[in-house]
Amino acid sequence: MNFEFSEEQLMIQQAARDYAQRELIKDVIERDAKAEFPTEHVKNLTELGFMGMVVDTKYDGGGMDTVSYVLAMEEICKVDSSLGVIISVNNSLVCYGIEEFGTEEQKEKYLKPLASGEKLGAFLLSEPEAGSDATHQRTTAEEKDDHYLLNGTKNWITNANCASTYVVIAQTHPEKRHKGINAFLVDKDSPGISLGPHEDKMGMRSSDTHSVMFTDVKVPKENRIGEDGFGFKFAMKTLDGGRIGIAAQALGIASGAMERAIQYSKERKAFGTEIANHQAIAFKLSDMAVKIENARNLCLKSAWLKDNKKPYGLMSAMAKQYAADIAMEVTTEAVQIFGGYGYVKEYHVERLMREAKLTQIYEGTSEVQKIVISRALLRD
């Protein structure tokens, strides 16, 4: 086993750390308060190659590996998870699915501008009545002569307004249940698409979340991804990889909170000494470090499996569930260490705690990950 990173991986990690600590930090509190989309930062991170970092250079991506992606996501999410999810959705949920399952024509037309960062993408699976229970798609894709007609509503869509390309999951043959579902590439400016208001979220407030309504939206037949009926498997396979991105995001939130808690506990004095000298605080830091190291190892192992073309769905579910759950625990303890200061915005840890909560919910709740993990254990 080799736990060392390559020069290139370390350079990518450093580039992400530098940008996060130098630039993202400056306005993250304000953007969170105003729920403002980070347009300038997306532009700058595009120039650094992060929007399509794991896509092959052949399709204008960064050609980086998944381990580098985890390292970069951790650094960015130590400071700003809203940017993290924009990067994660574009790379893992949108670009990955097109690169892996799309036709050459789809890759030319849709993947290249997404991988170069010229355009952003969104992944439309969740619905008002189909969140965890993803097979129950109500959005329909009715087959016509040379096109499909989409009707229905999608919920909680990250990048909904800023994206130009949607990957939409919809039901074509309801009698076949999940085997009748398809995935489509849809231009966001197609007639018949409308958006609900920006969701006023508890955390990750500057990521762009809306519901999306489809009314008789025409989608050319050549925009279907894969064979007829492949859409549910497509979504599941895509989410297997997406969960590595969100696990790394949760890891970043947790390690960002721990770094702040360590710093604070070395400066803040109580009962005649720095609070780090009180075992009640030192042991909290110790518990945080062990959990974070475990989460990091799960993230990196999933990434390594993916890079080495080995099955990674079970490991990514473990990484996502564990990292999200410990992010909630670690950030809660960080707020506790900061005391009253932790409860106000200036010290960042309350925001990290709000962000951690979402990692337990989206791209499969912690409970969904336990379904995936336990089914894999019980399978013969």
Q: Which residues bind ligand CAA (CB under 6 A)?
A: 85, 89, 93, 123, 125-126, 132, 134-135, 158, 178, 232-233, 236-237, 239-240, 313, 362-364, 368, 371-372
- Catalytic choice (108, 227, 363, 367): 363
CB-nearer residue toward ligand CAA: 20 or 368: 368
CB-nearer residue toward ligand CAA: 38 or 364: 364
CB of 183: closest distance to ligand CAA in angstroms?
Answer: 13
CB of 193: closest distance to ligand CAA in angstroms?
Answer: 17
CB 62 within 8 A of CB 49: yes
Phi then psi for 150, rounded to 5 degrees?
-95, 135
CB-nearer residue toward ligand CAA: 86 or 337: 86
3-class state of residue 256 by DSSP:
helix
Q: Quick one: the chain helix, strand, coil %, rounded to 5?
A: 60, 15, 25
CB 254 within 8 A of CB 327: yes
Catalytic residue flag (residue 363): yes
In angstroms, rounded to a whole number, what is the distance separating the alpha carbons of residues 264 and 260? 6
CB-nearer residue toward ligand CAA: 141 or 335: 141
DSSP 5: P
Ordered DSSP codes for 293-357: HHHHHHHHHHHHHHHTT---HHHHHHHHHHHHHHHHHHHHHHHHHHGGGGGSGGGSHHHHHHHHH
In angstroms, rounded to a whole number, what is the distance separating the alpha carbons of residues 154 and 173? 18
Residues serving a catalytic function are 363
